[in-house]
A and B are shown apart, each in its own frame.
Chain A
């Protein structure tokens, strides 16, 4: 029989199967699913964040831990039923139309998820309307756009204009990123922020929501 502390340890080791098994055991033994999340799984991923900042753990290990945590959270959620788990915020993310690159975007998603944000991933090659539709449907606090190509960068501006036209612009913060993107470009097209890397993107989202 695992304890919540041991569950946190398993999240740190990033062993998905063991986290699932331990979560099941705890739930079957009658542990409160919210406690399993808040006192087992979340402290585990928080410790991973600390160790990452200190240079003891690295991104691939963080990814494993994040996946393990997510698997545990899914099991606990089933027990809770319809109750929404409180999150740090909701972010709609996508690589804009014409751009098939998703590694940077996926890194940002992974980092945001590890920091408690919930994500709606629009994938790659996402047209302007898809962003608008997602904002209407999911009512996020933040819209994140990624572009690796200079040719697709202008689509970011189109999305901002479309949000404006639909009266949605004031309801969300828009953040952008990608190799050719700069702070100046973000200002030029009227985005709320720019992040040069995934770590900064998380800080940026937190700042914008405060």
Chain B
């Protein structure tokens, strides 16, 4: 049974023992069999019934473990996500780690003025270009909830902005089936048609249950549409431990796992072999302030559990990184964002989102985004592990230099020093040199980098006819919704 993460040169990390994994799996299956779920979607309820799930007089559906087992067998263990240019970009399997921003924050924190304000389309476009420019961010999400378009057009407009401002793969939130259909059409316009898009998906869809143990109509409807069109999709419980899930980490894992597995069963019944992304998250309720808080140690532990479970199930994993509960881009934001990014990478979580979230997801900070890009660079270097082949053990170099010598002039140093990690934001000057350059703090350097990107960076543009087609899809949706 494979469950611990595997990184370079035998580096590994695990949160659970094999016994604990079996205990959690068994407890989740018991929940599905003994407690059951409420499915607010007739087709999904029928699929479950026909497959052998028991429905009681009150409409609650109890899922036998055999259905879970069958779904786990038919779901693929790897998902490849492509970029807008049609190139394979992310291989979601095993312990591969990828990072991306988040979706739908309410407030844009202006990095230069510190002003907090609702997102405008132009802010989202700018933020997406920043994500596109940063080399260690692998995928984009919608960043902010648009305050300057019709409420029903928000998700569609966000998606058009993602296509126009970045080539990177996307994870998409959409309110309903019609929105997903329009997004799919826009993606097809950018990538050469529907069939090509099914073969080379450029976006994954985010769906969620309503915890505890309810499958709302819109989520299931999207899940089924995704299965039909082979759009990679998750069914991710956004737990609020102590409120929507048990207060203990293990209890939250048991329930969130049950909900994810239930989504997987419905999804695989609809289209066996369609790609499914396994994961969930927890923002526990702070019992003093009643705020659901991000990036606390419990949330990090939960992610360790789900990563071990994902490898046990041979499913690609979905999680979080680089996010914070802090209200500002401050020391707390750096502590929380960095811890989550490092641990998520060690856990081998395939697709980690929400890099740039502060205020537990209500506000987006581009400063945290740029900082985390550098953190990811450090972390990726570490994941390479330690090379212990003879040239790296360097006994010959040690012999050459000998007692009292100096490695600086040895050819071994000249040959290998460029392999060392180098950042572009961290400062390694001595004090005098640093002071001579204006005593700029990390924050100041981050804002300077942001300004450079915002002024100079241009993403690879869409082909003009694809852009026209996308604008046409938006216009038609607007007319339809207005009519």
* A residues whose Cβ falls under 8 Å from a Cβ of B: 55, 58-60, 100-101, 103, 107, 149-151, 153-154, 179-180, 182, 184, 197-199
Contacts and interface: CB of A to CB of B under 8 A. Distances in A.
Contact of B287 (A60, A151, A180, A182): A60
Contacts of B40: 100
A150 B244 CA distance: 19
Interface centre among A55, A59, A60 (most CB of B within 10 A): A59
A199 B40 CA distance: 32
Given A100-B210, A150-B145, A59 B175 contact: no
Contacts of B175: 149-151
Given A180-B145, A182-B106, A55 B151 contact: no
B214 A100 contact: yes
B118 A59 contact: no
B435 interface: no
Closest A-B pairs by Cβ, 4 of them:
A58-B287, A100-B210, A103-B243, A59-B287
Given A150-B175, A199-B290, A103 B214 contact: no
Given A100-B210, A107-B290, A198-B290, A59 B151 contact: no
Interface string B281-321: 00001011111000000000000000000000000000000
A60 B242 contact: yes
Nearest to A111: B290
B240 interface: yes
Contact of B151 (A58, A107, A150): A150
Contacts of B240: 103
B216 interface: yes
A58 B291 CA distance: 12
Nearest to A59: B287
Contacts of B218: 151
A55 B288 CA distance: 7
Contacts of B289: 197
Category for how many chain B residues contact A: 20 to 34
Contacts of A103: 240, 243-244
A185 to B, nearest CB: 10
Given A100-B216, A103-B240, 17 more contacts: A59-B288, A60-B247, A100-B40, A100-B210, A103-B244, A107-B243, A107-B290, A150-B104, A150-B154, A151-B175, A151-B218, A153-B151, A182-B118, A184-B118, A197-B289, A197-B291, A199-B290
A169 to B, nearest CB: 23
Interface of B: 40, 104, 106, 118, 145, 151, 154, 175-176, 210, 214, 216, 218, 240, 242-244, 247, 285, 287-291, 362
Contacts of B106: 180, 182
Contacts of B145: 150, 180
Interface of A is mostly: loop
Contacts of A150: 104, 145, 151, 154, 175
B285 A59 contact: yes
Contacts of B243: 103, 107
B369 to A, nearest CB: 22
A58 B288 contact: yes
A154 B151 contact: yes
* Of B40, B106, B154, most A-chain CB atoms within 10 Å: B106
Contacts of A59: 242, 285, 287-288, 290
A168 B288 CA distance: 37
A151 B217 CA distance: 13
A153 B175 CA distance: 12
18 contacts: A58-B288, A59-B285, A59-B288, A60-B247, A60-B287, A100-B214, A103-B243, A107-B290, A150-B104, A150-B145, A150-B154, A150-B175, A179-B362, A180-B145, A182-B106, A182-B118, A184-B118, A198-B290
A141 B40 CA distance: 33
Contacts of A153: 151
Contacts of B362: 179
Nearest to A199: B290
A101 B210 contact: yes
A197 B290 contact: yes
A102 B242 CA distance: 14
Contacts of B290: 59, 107, 197-199
A184 B148 CA distance: 13
Contacts of B242: 59-60
Contacts of A182: 106, 118
Contacts of A60: 242, 247, 287
B213 to A, nearest CB: 11
Contacts of B285: 59
Nearest to B215: A100
Nearest to A58: B287
A84 B362 CA distance: 43
